[in-house]
A and B are shown apart, each in its own frame.
Chain A
Amino acid sequence: AQSVTQLGSHVSVSEGALVLLRCNYSSSVPPYLFWYVQYPNQGLQLLLKYTSAATLVKGINGFEAEFKKSETSFHLTKPSAHMSDAAEYFCAVSDSFGNQFYFGTGTSLTVIP
């Protein structure tokens, strides 16, 4: 069985500061990991995904995440926050067949001008 834990339901950063959103996973099989973003009143949009290739994954809008097996983590980072990054971010885990797809509880990112 797979699951993900997102540490910190709310994160605030100043505009231009580093964004770090934490995600730890639990999986009995090699996991595939995803980060999605949700803007108010919209559906989720894929930021990036890890599928057992390169451990450092680059996504859209300047975001990237690093898969660390030893730490069972897949933290999302962005070097410099922009006001438009304010949204809800979800980490998700799946097996390779997509038979089990689980989302975390989400982290709300606030960007302070």
Chain B
Amino acid sequence: EAGVVQSPRYKIIEKKQPVAFWCNPISGHNTLYWYLQNLGQGPELLIRYENEEAVDDSQLPKDRFSAERLKGVDSTLKIQPAELGDSAVYLCASSLHRGIDTQYFGPGTRLTVL
């Protein structure tokens, strides 16, 4: 069974530039999560999808961040414009359903904003 796939693995951009991250969850998983992980910290939830509906986006900085999950499968997280403080690892995870179902994590995208 293929795991959660994320691309790119690494991205270096200059501040004020746009950037996008892509996530392909495990086949059949209805719930998809995007997390932000700063260096030396635990992951922090940005947004959670149930199929194609964003059901928890309270921690997503909506002035510059946006996300979509078309057809309830793949998802894209975008930042526009990027700021220096956005440098972090962006993790995608999926689970069969919400709740206490195990979350399976992708390897993450490491973003560096110069």
Contact = CB atoms under 8 A, between A and B. Distances in A.
B105 A106 contact: no
Contacts of A44: 43, 91, 93, 103, 105
**By DSSP majority rule, is chain B's interface helix, strand, loop, or mixed?**
loop
Interface residues of A, number: 24
A49 interface: yes
Given A41-B107, A42-B107, A43-B91, A97 B40 contact: no
Contacts of B41: 105-106
B103 to A, nearest CB: 7
A45 B105 contact: yes
A43 B40 contact: no
Contacts of B25: none
A97 B42 contact: no
Interface of B: 3-4, 31, 33, 40-45, 56, 91, 93, 95, 98-108
22 contacts: A32-B100, A42-B107, A43-B91, A43-B93, A43-B106, A44-B91, A44-B93, A44-B103, A46-B104, A49-B102, A51-B100, A92-B42, A96-B100, A97-B99, A98-B98, A98-B99, A99-B98, A101-B103, A102-B42, A103-B42, A103-B44, A105-B41
Interface of A: 9, 32, 36, 41-46, 49, 51, 90, 92, 94, 96-99, 101-106
